[in-house]
Amino acid sequence: MNPAERIAALRAEIRRHEDLYYLQQAPEIADAEFDALMRELDRLEREHPDLVTVDSPTQRVGGRPVEGFETVAHAAPMLSLDNAYSEEELRAFDDRVRRGLAAAGPVEYVAELKIDGLGIALTYENGALVRGATRGDGTFGEDVTSNVRVIRAIPLSITAGLPGRLEIRGEVYLPRRAFERINREREANEEPLFANPRNAAAGAMRNLDPRQVARRGLSAFVYEMVPSGPAAAAPSRHADMLHQLQAWRLPVEPHWRVCSGIDELLAFTHDWDEARQALDFDTDGVVVKVNDRAARDRLGATSKFPRWAVAFKFPAQQATTLLKTIAVNVGRTGAVTPFAVLEPVKLGGSTISLATLHNEQEVARRDIRERDTVIVEKGGDVIPKIVAPILSKRPDDSTPWRMPRTCPACQSDLRREAEEVVWRCMNASCPAKLQRGLMHFASRRAMNIEGLGESLARQLVESGLVRSYADLYHLKDDPQRLIDLERMGRKSAATLLDQIDRSRGSELWRLVYGIGIRHVGERGAQALAASFASMEDIERAPVEALETIRDIGPVVARSIRAFFDEPRNVEVVRALNEAGVNMTGTPSSPVTHGPLTGKTLVLTGTLAAMTREEAEAAIAARGGKVSGSVSRKTSYLVAGADAGSKLEKARALGVPVLTEDEFKALIMKA
């Protein structure tokens, strides 16, 4: 089999497995096997760049970050839906529809689960995905094509040769498993937790770096098509349109149903109000649509809503319980945060015994006290929250809660900086800080020491086996002490020691991230490792040098400098170095003398001969900079098809505008 044939076979196989995973929920291979297919395809395409196509699965990989999103117009307004909050309101909707259609018998509806996500409009031209845009205000949205392309549930092309232009409407959402993973990572990093998957999905789609979006693990469902020509005319029934979308390999939520009349519709809503907890995505209701499109046209729309559809909202999931006490948790940087310990109560298919309280000021603002009877809610939120205390049930001797002034783990005094709301334990030897720090150091995004979780970290600290990160690398000196720990054993200890030993060779950025410099996340750690050759160089860097690095602003730069100005932190790094942990990296070399050096280019619209990522890479390879917004400092605006508001602004400012052919000539000459 020659390279072209193997590439074609790999693409077909990968697409088949994507269909099985995202559309049929019936995967045949493990993630590792899928990744191996992707790696082979990526290698072959790098060896044979002339065989790369825009719809290849490898082209989902996120490109360079952009600096802003462009405003684009939708093919037709994305109207909101009116809401129905009860059976009576849903029956009233059915009455209005039957009166509008002068229907004596039951009306046929399509009922679809309402995805609690972010509205999206996908534009396909001659079968190829050319644009993804947010709902925005319904008439105009933001062009988030680079982010949409990394969502594996969305195909880069649909039925080969499909003529014309087609806009597909849908929802981008975050699966619950991905949401839980992200919040575990954020908790380990002491970052604010997302309240619900919808907030996390919306935040991801607003991220300017597609690589970060890809890591979130977003998915999507589609539910509507808006043709722009007769070749792609929509079927006459909504149910047939959903079947057509599925035939094009587009992800349609599979539990929709055709319902004849209001009674079948109500049965559907009742069934799913009870069963929705079993799904891997959040649904906050049922969308009800008249099935027949001709009937829809007769019903029409108001200035805000179509008269032929309504969103039935499930009631919020609430319960009443006793707040037994307010406790505090100590994080790896010493941040001390309160949480509520509740009398266990069943809510939304699970038992709730804890709820977040964020910080001392939030507790005081909402006047939440120990021994209060409180209303807890999940609603669209996966993390339980306290809605309010029931004041009529408050004990007479109740007093406002006060933040403790000493650390619960080491009894050191807590301190709060003037500009912050968070109290912190400043004791460098605090066992709670060390335990959380160990968990972060060993986490998948840091040194990736599999098997070192919360329970083991606690035992290692409490037993005195580990007093600093470097002690992990000396556990092999006396493995019996590790074997003697609870639920460890000889085999588990050997596996853990292998994992620890392997982590010595981790990339520099993982170590930078793992040692827990405040405000330095994964991207910041990668930026530091790309800018300095070693940990020693980072340690010596002045604030002024740190501030020049992308993703490192003044606050982060000062935090890095403060970290290395602390002798204990320097000693931690020295001990890791002596334990054989890798301290060097391979800094990237920016182009300083390229033919486009000093030039700033802005891209707008759709390029026919290359993806936006390929255009950005070509500019960067020649020393140029890509910006997301037009200003008087812009050297050129490159305008592809369907150029939006950036083109108008460039003309108003007198910025030179290049067609795609002129841009190709420029980079070829360069």
The token duo for 464 is 């005195």
| 3 state SS of 503 | helix
**For helices 567-578 and 554-565, angle between their N-to-C axes, nearest 10 degrees:** 80
- Between CA 648 and CA 634 the distance in angstroms is 14
| 3 state SS of 269 | helix
CA-wise closest residue to 94 among 111, 116, 112 = 111
Which residues are catalytically annotated? 114
The token duo for 488 is 């460890």
Q: Which residue has the tokens 């996500």?
A: 117
C-alpha 47: how far from its chain's center? 32
394 touches 387 (CB < 8 A)? no
| 3 state SS of 284 | strand
CA-wise closest residue to 352 among 314, 389, 321 = 321
Give the chain's count of helices (H) and strands (E). 24, 22
CA-wise closest residue to 224 among 202, 204, 253, 199 = 253
Q: Which amino acid is at 380?
A: G
Count CB neighbours of 371 within 10 A. 15
Paired sense of beta strands 600-604 and 636-639, if any: parallel
- Between CA 634 and CA 636 the distance in angstroms is 6
DSSP tag of 141: E
516 touches 332 (CB < 8 A)? yes
DSSP tag of 326: E
